[in-house]
Structure 1
Amino acid sequence: MNRHRVVIVGAGFGGLFAAKALRRADVDVTLINGTTYHLFQPLLYQVATGILSEGEVAPPIREILRRQDNVDVRLGWVRDVDVEARTVEVAGPGVSYTVGYDSLIFAAGSSQSYFGNDGFAADAPGMKSVDDALELRARIFHAFEIADLQTDPADVERWMTFVIVGAGPTGTEMAGQIAELAHRTLPGQYRHIDPHRARIVLVDAVGAVLNTFGDQLSTRALRELHQLGVEVELNTTVVGVDPEGIDVETVRGRERIPAMTKVWAAGVSAPPLARRLAEATGASTDRAGRILVEPDTTIPGHPEIFVVGDLMALPGRDGRQLPGVAQVAIQSGRYAAGQIRARLAGRTAERPFRYFDKGSLAVISRFSAVASIGRLRLSGFPAWLIWLVVHLFYLVGFKNRVSAVLHWAVSFLGRGRSERVTTLQQVYARTAMRDFGDPFAHPGDGAGSTAVGAGAGSPRTSR
């Protein structure tokens, strides 16, 4: 009855690995999450393009932790924190409740950022949740179906144009997979359109594809995208999004790209919950809303509150802020758990958190990827093999690995896609809930979500 109480907010990489690291500790863990599953976000784009099912990238949290007796998994969205009473206020589906803590680990992940243009979200869904991926899958496959029914060439072109905003790992991988759909999977299946003629446009305000990978790999990725038929528009800023197209500012001036399907893969920010936590504790935040933490990942003046993963702002060994990627979340989550165990054992504080960079991976197309691991720079098939092994290693659950391998074989060795079933409900559910209301509405701030490592295209990169 008097055991140390640990509350973990979020079951993404940081929260889940923190909970696992406390398995043998003399503590009671309450894990609060806004969904019933742990989302392996780096493979979400494969759900959106029909390669994997949502179940393969989102195993149930209760199943993952079923052998861990000291964990209580609870569904809900954290609304506020009372740092004096050491409680968190939670909104569940149709019910609110309060949970007390002795130690608190915040691993609530990040939210999609539209850089102040939240209205873009209605016509350009992000890539942060299973709902997003299923909606995009329906939009992508329905676009070809609707194009096949059109009689006006301009309408056909508009339906067969796909614009992806953001040339980071997620956007690059998404563009490559839509190109493979158009060039390998769908040709020969339509009587009135030629999927080869689909136009895939990748847009980014910066001047390089995968700019965090370095010039060498960025150039190789750009060349590979061009070979796939992807149009890459760099130094291009999105200034408008509507149902039938997207407006951009380029070096050539303002232009419009008619397109019915848009994907937003640019920008992440901390959820509003981070701001409320900062206000409650007096902590500072950076421009993205992340909380500035001590070297041991705790909030200044509140050693009982740890902030890990995407929510923390902490410089690495090179002085730059640690990126919001899965490995940072995993390592910081484990570290926070280790700090709690050390305190309960009466040991002095361990060394400050040090992130070990295991490298960056991004897949461009089947059998082709780029990898930056230490000083090693790889591209093509060798990098793709590394990507395959790493992702299999991090997929949670044996059955997930087996089914993922089978689906990858269908898509990479053959030309098919195992998950092409779509429904109109997937397309319109988000709009319907916005217009008519959600009876189980949550604050909508991402609190307790699994979006750790947002923007990732690999277990290293978020995302």
Structure 2
Amino acid sequence: MQDHVTPRRVVILGGGFAGLFAARALRRSPVAVTVIDRRAHHLFQPLLYQCASGILSEGQIAQPLRAVLRRHHNVSCLLAEATDVDVEARLVHARRPDGGALALPYDDLIVAVGMRQSYFGHDEFAAHAPGMKTLNDALDIRRRLYRAFEMAETAPDAEERQQWLTFALVGGGPTGVELAGQIREIAGHTLEREFQTFDSAQARVLLFEGSDEVLGAFGRPLAHRAARTLQSLGVELHLGTKVTDVDAHGLTVQDRDGATTRFEVRTVLWTAGVEAPPIAAALARATGVTQDRAGRIAVEPDLTIPGHPEIRVTGDVMSLNRLPGLAEVAMQSGAYAGRVVRHAVEGRTKQPKPFKYWDLGSAAYIARGRAVVKAGPLHLSGATGWLAWLFIHLAFLTGFRSRLGAVLSWSVAFATSSRRERAFTQPDADAPAGRAPGPKPPLSPP
């Protein structure tokens, strides 16, 4: 009688790009892989702003994790949030959505939890200025954007109407630039002639950035081109500014001279700054590893934590050689971590080569037919940059259905300026707060 051999257990924290590519690298290995994520879907985060602005639907940028990994017969998915790691017992502690506790043993741990929105110590801003890291964030932003125009239609006076027609974005990175361009397109084209009491094209879009340029990571030439494109669309750039307060009716900013200015704005969107989720701090406490100011975990060249060769940290939450928080970094580091585990299982005793990131470039979509792309020495902008952006995003969308749906939606949006995904929900004002609905009446008399 043969003894049952337990396969090597690999636990992956996170089902984003890094976690997904790690699982794929282990597809044909004799290991048992468990992917833990607090959401049941894999999200194509670079296109979140297109869901928020009504071009793409949720299903076109998010696929169920189980469906994405269904052909990976050695992979199981768990809907839970990792809360702690016992490195001595090699256990991951996690919390289920209903509050129940899980303890998952591992032989190898791959940490791919990503980053979350940071408000730089002012978490109270979140209630009035949502970030954009999750699908819920994108749907909340969509509701706020289109609701603002509806509220402007019934505003009692011109002053309040202008407040509803003014949009502020905090942060001049790719997300802020992309959203700013989308709001101007919505105001100037999508909603053209739909309202009776105002011209939607008169909406103001304000972009606040602490440095001297937008898209600073793209280099000065592309940053200047992006700034010119935004200004040509009507976006008002406020560079060298710091937001000091946000409330339901606007925000206060401070310039480099210390002067403060108040802007009356009903829609503020936060696209500045990220921080590591709590599990990163828990792992740091358990292993003694250092974290940077944003909470990223310092790793060795092979992505392991010093003293813990069984733990690898990948994607946005790893701190290595100042690598940027890009989807491509997450994909490559996740795939690397999975391959190293696979090689170990296959009995390859050679020391793995250090992780090397191949920079395939960065891209930001500004407006229809206009984008900027940086790939090594290649700098593209305008229509050429837009075509390159289109190819890059189609290549990495997960699933044939997503690609086909995106092509159809983009074709409609780019050809007609219309957006098919403009639906948003409002809380039911007729339902008494805190009261559960009463019993339904019977369908027929007793």
Q: Same fold (TM over 0.5)?
A: yes
User: 1:382-430: CA deviations, max 9, x gaps?
Assistant: 1100100110111101111111111111111112101010001499xxx
Structure 1 CA distance, aligned partners of 2:427 and 2:134?
16
CA distance 1:282–1:7, change in 2 (3 Å): same
**Partners of 1:135 and 1:426 within 8 A in 2:** no
1:191 maps onto 2:196 in alignment:
yes
* Candidates 277, 298, 305, aligned match of 2:304: 298
Distance 1:409 1:205 in 2: 35
Work out which of the residue numbers 241, 265, 268 in structure 2 matches 1:262.
268
Matching residue of 2:55: 51
Q: Would you say the 8 A contact 1:342–1:349 is kept in 2?
A: no
Give me the whole-angstrom Cα distance separating, in 2, the residues matched to 1:373 and 1:89.
40
Deviations 1:251-272 (A, max 9, x none): 5721011110010000011112
SS of residue matched to 2:63? coil
| Distance (whole Å) between structure 2 residues aligned to residue 196 and residue 383 of structure 1 | 26
Residue by residue over 1:152-191, the C-alpha shift from the partner in whole angstroms, topping out at 9 and shown as x without a partner, is 1100000000000000000000000000000011010000
Shift of 1:341: 1.3
Q: Highest relative contact order (Cα 8 Å, sep 6+), 1 or 2?
A: 1
**Corresponding residue for 1:236?**
241
1:274 equivalent to 2:275? Answer: no
> 2:216 aligned to 208, 211, 214, which one?
211
Q: State the alpha-carbon separation in 2 of the partners of residues 353 and 415 from structure 1.
A: 43
TM-score (norm: length of structure 1): 0.90
SS in 1 for 2:231: helix
Is 2:408 the partner of 1:406?
yes
Cα shift readout 1:216-262 (whole Å, capped 9, x = no counterpart) = 00110000001100001000100000000010012572101111001
Match of 1:59, SS state, is strand
> Where does structure 1 differ by over 3 angstroms across 4 or more consecutive aligned residues?
none
Query: Which amino acid in 2 is paired with 1:181?
Result: I
Which one has a bigger Cα radius of gyration? 2
Q: Find the aligned partners of 2:326 and 2:197 in 1 and give their Cα distance.
A: 43
Of the structure 1 ranges 156-165 and 245-254, higher mean CA displacement relative to structure 2 is found in 245-254
1:27 and 2:31 equivalent?
yes
Tell me whether 1:393 sits opposite 2:415 in the alignment: no
Residue 224 of structure 1 pairs with residue 229 of structure 2: yes
CA distance in 2, matches of 1:9, 1:162: 36
**2:87 matched to which residue of 1?**
83
CA–CA separation in structure 2 for the residues paired with 1:426 and 1:280: 46
Number of residues of Structure 1 aligned to a counterpart in Structure 2: 425
| d(CA) in 1 for partners of 2:162, 2:268 | 14
Aligned twin of 1:415? 417
Distance in structure 1 (CA, Å) of the matches to 2:305 and 2:26: 20
User: Taking structure 2 as the reference length, what is the TM-score of the superposition?
Assistant: 0.94
Partner of 1:337: 338
Using the TM superposition, give the Cα deviation of residue 363 of structure 1 relative to its aligned residue in structure 2, in angstroms: 0.8
> Which whole-Å deviations, capped at 9, do the CAs of 1:287-344 have from their partners, x for residues lacking one?
11111111100000000000000111111xxxxx111111111111111111111111
Moved more, 88-97 or 54-63: 88-97
CA distance in structure 2 between the partners assigned to 1:163 and 1:426 by the alignment: 27
TM-superposed deviation, 1:349: 2.0
Do the aligned residues in 1 keep the contact of 2:25 with 2:342 (CA within 8 Å)?
no
Indicate the percent of aligned positions where both proteins have the same amino acid: 51
Letter in 2 for 1:197: Q
Q: How far apart in 1 are the matches of 2:97 and 2:232?
A: 48
Residue by residue over 1:356-381, the C-alpha shift from the partner in whole angstroms, topping out at 9 and shown as x without a partner, is 10011111100000111110111100
List aligned pairs for 1:438-453, cutoff 5 A.
none
Code of the aligned partner of 2:342: R
Residue-by-residue CA offset, 1:133-169 (whole Å, 9 max, x unaligned): 0011001000000100013110000000000000000
Aligned-residue Cα RMSD (Å) equals: 1.5
For the Cα contact (< 8 Å) 2:166–2:204, is it kept in 1? yes
Aligned position for 1:308:
314
1:105 aligns with 2:107: no
Instruction: State yes or no: 1:355 paired with 2:361.
Output: no
Taking the aligned partners of 1:273 and 1:346, their CA distance within structure 2 comes to: 31
Structure 1 residues 162-201: aligned runs within 5 Å = 162-201=167-206
Structure 2 residue aligned with 1:6: 10
Q: Which residue of structure 1 lines up, in the alignment, with residue 438 of structure 2? A: none
2:336 partner SS? helix
Match of 1:375 in 2: 377
136-145 or 245-254, which deviates more: 245-254
Structure 1 residue runs without a partner (length 5+): 316-320, 437-463
Partner of 2:441: none
Maintained 8 Å contact 1:7/1:32:
yes
